[in-house]
Amino acid sequence: HNASVVGGKSFTAVAINCASKAGEWIKTKLGNYNQLQSKYSSQDLVTEVDKGSERLIRNLIATHFPHHSFLGEEGVEPGPDASVKALEEARNAEYLWIVDPIDGTTNFVHGFPFFCISIALAHHGEVIVGVVYDPMRNELFVAEKGKGAYVHGRKMGVASEERLRESLVATGLPPDQQAALPLNLRGINQLAPKVRNLRIAGSAALHMAYVAAGRLSGFWEIGLNSWDMAAGSLLIQESGGTVTDMNGEPYSLAVRNVTASNGRIHDELLTALKEAETSAE
Ligand code: 2AM
Ligand code: CA
Ligand code: CA
Ligand code: CA
C-alpha cells in the first residue's frame, strides 16, 4: 500500500499523537477521577477516564481523517456478542481505526502501573499501523507494516529463546468469561511447570508489546477482543515474531484466543496449550 500518507498527514504520526496525548491526560487522572461504573459486574470496570481517553482519540482522528471508520471498546455494548457484531460491521471498511483507550483498566483503578493505550489502523481488514503507549514508563511502541517495529526509535526484535523452559511467558485472565476461565486455568497448569516462569500482569496489549521487545518470549490469552490485540499483533510480526490463534491459524482481526511468541517456541507453546484443552475432555 502506498497510502500511509494522505494529504501530507502520516497515519503513524496521528496514531502516535493520539496515544501520547491520551497517555498524558490519563496520567493526570490516576487516583483523581469521579465516577466508577461497573459494566457487568465488580470485575468488569469502566471509568470516566476510559471514556474520556476514547473521546480524545476519536475526535483527534476525525479531525485528520473524517472519512475513516472507528472501532473503540467504549463505543460498543459490553459483552462478547456485541463486540463480535461490531467488528463484523466495521472490518470491511477501507480504513478502520481500532482503539483500546485504556488496556488494563483494573490496573489503572488500583494504581498498579501496567496499562497502555492501544491504537491500530487496518486497511481492508489488514493492520498497517500499530501503536502501544505505556504512559507510566513513557514507552512508545510503534510498528508500520513492512517497516519494522520500534520502541522510541530503537528497532525491536523478539527474544532468542529456543525452548519453553528458558522462556518467560505471559497470559491473562479476562474477567466475566465464565466458560473460558477453567480453560485458562488448565493452560496455566500445563505451562507453569514447562516454562521458566509465568506472568499475568493485566494488559494484553502491553504483554504483546513486550513480546515484540523481547522481554517476554510468549503470550497467550483466551477471550480477547480486536482492540486488545490489533496493534500488538503488528508489533510482534514486525519484530520477527509469530501471532496465531490457539490452533495455529494466522492472526486476523476476528481472533479471540491468541497465541503469540518469538516464533522459535511457537510450536511448543501451541502443543502445550492443545494438551491443556484435551486434558479436560
Ligand atoms: P481492558 O482493561 O481494556 O478491559 C486482561 O486479562 C485483559 O482482559 C485486558 O487486556 C483487559 O482489557 C481484558 N478484559 C477486561 N475485561 C474484559 C472482559 N469483560 N472481556 C474480555 N476481556 C476483558
Ligand atoms: Ca474494559
Ligand atoms: Ca482491553
Ligand atoms: Ca479498555
CATH of the domain at 238: 3.40.190.80
The residue among 207, 198, 197 whose CA lies nearest residue 243 is: 207
Of the given ranges (15-24, 161-170, 210-219, 270-279), which has the lowest mean pLDDT?
A: 270-279
Among 46, 53, 71, 103, say which to mutate for ligand 1: greatest number of ligand atoms within 8 Å of CB.
Answer: 103
All residues at 6 or more sequence positions from 55 whose CB lies less than 8 Å from its CB, including other chains: none
- Widest Cα–Cα separation across the chain: 56
Same domain, yes or no: 142 and 217: no
Same domain, yes or no: 242 and 137: no
At 257 the pLDDT is 95
CA atoms within 13 A on the CB side of 93: 19
* ipTM of the complex, rounded to two decimals: 0.96
Last residue of a domain, one of 113, 128, 155: 155
pLDDT in tens, 165-216: 999 999 999 776 677 888 889 999 999 999 999 999 999 999 999 999 999 9
**% of residues, the chain, pLDDT over 70:** 93
Confidence of residue 79 (pLDDT cuts 50, 70, 90): confident
Written as nine digits, the cell of 228 is: 486488545
* Residues facing residue 98 across a β-bridge: 71, 120
What is the amino acid identity at position 68? H
Question: If you take atom 3 of ligand 1, which residue's CA is the nearest one?
Answer: 103
Same domain, yes or no: 185 and 228: yes
Q: Name the DSSP letter for residue 250.
A: B
Decide: 202 in ligand 1 pocket, CB within 6 A. Answer: yes
10 Å CB burial of residue 159 (0-12, 13-18, 19+) is buried
Q: How far apart are the first and last CA of the chain?
A: 46
Residue entry with cell 493452560: 187
Q: Where in the sequence is the domain holding 200, given as residue range(s)?
A: 164-278
In the residue annotation, 50 being an active-site residue is answered as no
Question: If you take atom 23 of ligand 1, which residue's CA is the nearest one?
Answer: 174
Among 38, 39, 40, 44, say which to mutate for ligand 1: greatest number of ligand atoms within 8 Å of CB.
Answer: 44
Q: Compute the distance from residue 49 Cα to the ligand 3 centre, in Å.
A: 14
Active-site hit among 74, 144, 161, 228: 228
In the residue annotation, 103 being an active-site residue is answered as yes
Count of residues in the chain: 281
Written as nine digits, the cell of 207 is: 504483554
Same domain, yes or no: 254 and 169: yes
In the residue annotation, 48 being an active-site residue is answered as no
10 Å CB burial of residue 197 (0-12, 13-18, 19+) is exposed
Phi-psi region at 104: left, alpha or beta (left = phi > 0; alpha = psi -120 to 50)? left
In the residue annotation, 245 being an active-site residue is answered as no
Same domain, yes or no: 182 and 224: yes
At 8 the pLDDT is 53
10 Å CB burial of residue 247 (0-12, 13-18, 19+) is exposed
The residue among 131, 129, 158 whose CA lies nearest residue 239 is: 158
pLDDT in tens, 106-157: 999 999 999 999 999 999 999 999 999 999 999 999 999 999 999 989 999 9
Last residue of a domain, one of 155, 179, 206: 155
Last residue of a domain, one of 108, 129, 155: 155
**Structural domains in the chain (count):** 2
pLDDT in tens, 246-257: 999 999 999 999
The ligand 1 atom nearest the CA atom of 39: 19
Same domain, yes or no: 255 and 207: yes
What are the start-end ranges of the H helices in 149-265?
Answer: 180-191, 204-212, 226-238
Same domain, yes or no: 237 and 219: yes
Same domain, yes or no: 103 and 151: yes
What is the amino acid identity at position 135? P
Active-site hit among 50, 54, 74, 103: 103
Average per-residue pLDDT in the chain? 93
Decide: 223 in ligand 1 pocket, CB within 6 A. Answer: yes
- Give CA–CA dist 272/167, Å, rounded: 14
CA atoms within 13 A on the CB side of 236: 33
- Give CA–CA dist 17/222, Å, rounded: 31
- In DSSP notation, 79-122 reads SHHHHHHHHHHHTTSSEEEEEEEEE-HHHHHHT-S--EEEEEEE
Decide: 50 in ligand 1 pocket, CB within 6 A. Answer: no
